[in-house]
Amino acid sequence: MSRSEQENSKSKKKRRIVALIVFLLLLLSIGSCAMWQFSQPKADPGATVQGYEGKSDEEIIADLNRQAEESRMTISVSAKPKLSDGKVRVNVSNVAENKFSQTFTLSQDGVELYSSGLIAPGEAVEWCEAPDAHEGSATVTVQGCDPETGTPSGNPQSVAVTIVAASTAGSE
């Protein structure tokens, strides 16, 4: 082999190596892009995106406040329910301003002692039958419900309460 043929052969090897390196870098970058794309969180197909194009900050804030007001629910529960003859005075009130009906459960020691029916806005449950209740910590869990269908709406909210004997409950 002549010197020029050797140089030509070396030059071809260098080009092949460079081409191979460029090809591997290209594959690596494509693979990295694909992995990045697949690792990104996906949009919820059932989600509705609210568009605020063309609205001022004040209009956006007013709309968000309106949405929050429409979904707000006040919970009213006695912090120290009284226990008397197998009944507990829970005083669960669904205030008239609420847009949702409510249901509630009374639980103690991990056991559900009472489950209410639907309580419309403006109504209250003063006493509930709970023969297994005793003095001590308990939980009242309130669930908002659609006022027409009674189906649960939103997340239930739990309130820690302390059941006390009616004779020691004071004037509450």
Its pTM surpasses 0.75: no
What size, in residues, is the chain?
172
Residue 138: name the closest of 103, 105, 172 by CA.
Answer: 105
Gap between the Cα atoms of 122 and 124, Å rounded: 7
Full pLDDT tens readout for the chain, 172 residues: 677 777 777 788 888 888 888 888 888 888 887 788 777 776 666 666 567 788 888 888 888 888 777 777 888 999 999 999 999 999 999 999 888 999 999 999 999 999 999 999 999 999 999 999 999 999 999 999 988 888 998 889 999 999 999 875 454 4
User: How far is it, in rounded angstroms, from Cα 69 to Cα 53?
Assistant: 23
Q: How far apart are CA 15 and CA 18, in angstroms?
A: 5
